[in-house]
Structure formats: C-alpha cells, structure tokens
C-alpha cells in the first residue's frame, strides 16, 4: 500500500506528533505560506518556504528536481519524511497534490520509500490514505 496505514509503530506515531508540536510552537500566525520539509525532525532537515504568492515552482519537473535536491541535502536516512506545513484544514488542497506528485517522482527515481504528510497546527494527514491525527490543543512548551 502506498502511504501510511494503521497500525503505526510507536516511533512513527511519536515522530508525527513531534512534527505537529514543533510546527505549532514555531508558527504562531493564523495564516502563513506553506513550507516543504524533507528529512528527519531533530536531525538533518531541508526546508523550502513556498511563498505567499503561490505554491512555488509551477512546472512538475522543476518541483520534482527541488524535492530530489532537498532529499540529498537532508542527508541519508531510511526513516526520512516529507512534510508540508501550511495553514487551513487538513483536507486535500492543490498545493498538497502538486508537492505529493513531485515527492513521489523524486523518491521513485531514488528507489526510496516515501512517507508524505500534510501538517497544520492541530494535526497531520497522509493525503494518499486519508490516515490522520488531530489534537484539540497542542500543549505549549519548548520542543526538545
């Protein structure tokens, strides 16, 4: 199956929770531009702000090249994630689809498994399977 599915391992569950927690801690605004991240939280991560004027590169090939370069920049790690942080709800948006397609192509070319999620200040969602987790309130405190 392509994408995350239950049962998630305890490590995967903790890693996804960490993505939400760190995003909520660092992003205090209600509306903000999307940011693409590749890597392992707490280790090597490459990030790209996609800007407030649009989803970033408009060409699918260019988006794929961007993800491939970010993957290499983040460093080798078998548990590498790709996540898109953005404002709004977790339902599928155009920006999610565009960057998911780019990530699929880049990771297929590298023959590497892809874990892709969309993250907002309240939760995460895998747009391929619909698996998601949300919290009513993400507890304040400095991420460790």
Structural domain includes residue 1: no
The SS3 call for residue 83 is strand
DSSP states of 89-122: -SS--HHHHHHHHHHHHHHHHTT----EEEE-SS
**DSSP-derived pairing of the beta strands 132-134 and 123-125:** antiparallel
Q: What would the mean pLDDT of 84-96 be, rounded to a whole number? A: 95
Query: Is residue 36 within a helix (H) or strand (E), and if so which, with residue range?
Result: strand 35-39
Total number of domains in the chain: 1
Structural domain includes residue 43: yes
CATH number, residue 54: 3.40.140
Structural domain includes residue 11: no
Structural domain includes residue 79: yes
Structural domain includes residue 7: no
Structural domain includes residue 3: no
- pLDDT tens column, 117-142: 999 999 999 999 999 999 987 765 55
- Structural domain including 35 reads 16-134
Structural domain includes residue 44: yes
- pLDDT tens column, 100-122: 999 999 999 999 999 999 999 99
């Amino acid at each position: 199956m392509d994408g995350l599915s239950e049962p998630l391992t305890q490590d995967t569950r903790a890693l996804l929770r960490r993505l939400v927690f760190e995003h909520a801690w660092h992003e205090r605004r209600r509306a903000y531009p999307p940011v693409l991240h590749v890597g392992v939280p707490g280790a090597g991560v490459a990030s790209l702000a996609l800007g407030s004027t649009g989803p970033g590169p408009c060409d699918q090939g260019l988006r794929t090249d961007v993800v491939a370069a970010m993957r290499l920049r983040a460093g080798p790690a078998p548990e590498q994630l790709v996540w898109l942080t953005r404002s709004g709800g977790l339902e599928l948006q155009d920006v999610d689809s565009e960057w998911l397609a780019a990530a699929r192509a880049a990771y297929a070319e590298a023959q590497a498994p892809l874990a892709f999620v969309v993250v907002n200040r309240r939760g995460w969602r895998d747009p391929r399977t619909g698996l998601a987790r949300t919290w009513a309130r993400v507890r304040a405190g400095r991420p460790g």
